[in-house]
Structure 1
Amino acid sequence: MPAQSFQIAKRPSSERGHADHGWLNTYHTFSFADYYDPKYQEFGALRVLNEDRVKARRGFGTHPHRQYEIFSYIISGELEHKDSMGNIEVLQRGDVQFTTAGTGISHSEKNEHPSKPVHFLQIWTKPENSYLEPGYVTRRFQEADKRNRLQPFVSPYQDVVNALTTAETPTVLPDTIGIHTDLYAYSSILEPGQTVVHQVVKSQTPGSATRARRVYLHVIDKAGSLDVADGQSETTTRLDKGDGAFITEVKPSGTIELANPSDKPVEFILFDLA
């Protein structure tokens, strides 16, 4: 049996940081707030991945951010966003809201629905330049575009690609949200028995040998399971709802097979990063 071409380290949901504040039930993949684990501080440019459920009529009051780029991936319910740039928006299922905090912004995120909770992912990434002009963008991604395929929703700005890589590397992916670092994000809703294959981005730092990539997978805490394999080995890693996986030493242009072995659809996100 051929050896796997990369390393997989499972991050079980039960081992994530967790806090239940009554109005907020939150799980942390990386050290955040009162949860600290020196083994889980960041993964490349990925610094925060929180899975939050906020009760009706509650939320995060106005608070400041700097330097990071922050996005919210709405799973269910409604999330009202207000910020110091004048943006006011109610986000729903399928929406991805992205903020470049840069030199400084303040915002609030609240669930103003009278009865239903909101379930969303809060994700922070570190840009190449921490002192960017603040910015805001929202884009909706349709269910049909995620079903049984990997739908890209974030990719680097063209100037980031030009600065970090050679002309052999893919440029900005169409119809995605731009980010100021070498990171690509995808989402998928995989039906029972279905398989998708991710071909890892081919990146190369100018003047050096081709560098390995890394991938982070997160299975959204809803239903279904995900099997992860490299297409060469019969060995797979099973991820259930809320689980994640750190995948390292991935060869550029290598493939990762993702299959749903369960009897329910599974929704997940995938980060492909330097």
Structure 2
Amino acid sequence: MPGKIVIRPSGERGHANHGWLDTHHTFSFASYYDHQYDGFGRLRVLNEDIVQPKTGFGTHPHREYEIFSYIISGELEHRDSMGNVEILKRGDLQLTVAGTGITHSEYNQNPSLPVHFLQIWVKPDNPRLTPEYHTKNFSDKQKLNSVLHIISPVDSLDENTIGIHSDFHFYASLLEPEQSVVYKANGEQDDERKIYIHNTGTGGVIKVNEETVLNEGDGAFVTEIKGSEELVFESVGDKTAEFVIIDLA
């Protein structure tokens, strides 16, 4: 099968527990630095965060990057300098084009339940974009035993996804035990692609291309894969596996 797959084990990610925030970093971030993991193509940050009730990230600035949050469980309140205020829940995806500069806060207002989400930063083709804010809900039903397209390049004009200013695609799947799905890489037949897979921390186990097993929190870098080549995902645990796929130039 196509593609060279290298596992990023969950336990080898950067990790910090601040009490209010338990966070794992796939790439160098904040006080965690590893020269081997400074990014992957346009993908710069993939943090898996758990924020405790009535706490969160206070108002802080961003610029240039396109930043999005994929909610796994709980509620995340977003406020920004563009006037957006929204409480995000499971299935919601929020994308902010920081561009020339914004400030925002992300807070768990729930009095008793933590919020669990992925925070992902992408380098756009143009770092001086006008700031934007987008949200859309993608239900569990849409993801069940399939691969759901969630983010795609703005020039693809796909009204079912959220647009991003880069050759970057984001997908999610909920795969029940013993079920499998086939994923076909983006691009033309001879296009070189990079793919990153992340198995969210929800207890499921997936196998990629019949040999690479990813437990909860594990990721995998896929290189040496071209447009239209396929990856096969199988749920091999006793729980439904939730995982995301990032496909980029």
Matched, 1:251 2:226: yes
List gaps (5 residues or longer) in structure 1: 159-170, 205-209, 230-234
Question: When the two structures are aligned, how many residues end up with a matched partner?
Answer: 249
**C-alpha RMSD of matched pairs (Å):** 1.0
Counterpart position of 1:193: 178
The structure whose residues are more often strand, as a share, is 2
Matches within 5 A, 1:50-65: 50-65=47-62
* Partner of residue 129 from structure 1, selected from 116, 121, 126: 126
Task: Report the secondary structure of 1:270's partner residue.
Answer: strand
Q: Which residue of 2 aligns with 1:227?
A: 207
Could you tell me which residue of structure 2 aligns to residue 263 of structure 1? 238
| Distance apart, 1:5 and its partner CA | 2.3
Q: 2:214 aligns with which of 215, 222, 239?
A: 239
Are the counterparts in 2 of residues 223 and 265 from structure 1 also a CA contact under 8 Å?
A: yes
Match of 1:71 among 61, 68, 72: 68
Question: 6, 9, 14: which one pairs with 1:9?
Answer: 6
Detail structure 1 runs of 4+ shifted over 3 Å in the superposition: 171-174
In structure 1, how many angstroms separate the alpha carbons of the residues matched to 2:194 and 2:6? Answer: 12
Q: Distance in 2 between matches of 1:27 and 1:99?
A: 21
Distance 1:30 1:56 in 2: 26
Aligned to 1:207: none
Please name the residue that 1:91 is paired with: 88
Structure 2 portions without partners, runs of 5+: none
Residue identity opposite 1:263 in structure 2: D
Aligned residue among 214, 217, 236 for 2:194: 214
- Correspondence for 1:173 among 158, 180, 200: 158
Question: Of residues 36, 39, 57 in structure 2, which corresponds to 1:39?
Answer: 36
In 1: Cα distance, 2:237 partner to 2:73 partner:
22
**CA deviations over 1:198-227 (Å, ceiling 9, x no partner):** 0111248xxxxx331111000001111010
Deviation, structure 1 residue 93: 0.5
Distance in 2 (alpha carbons) for counterparts of 1:91 and 1:138: 9
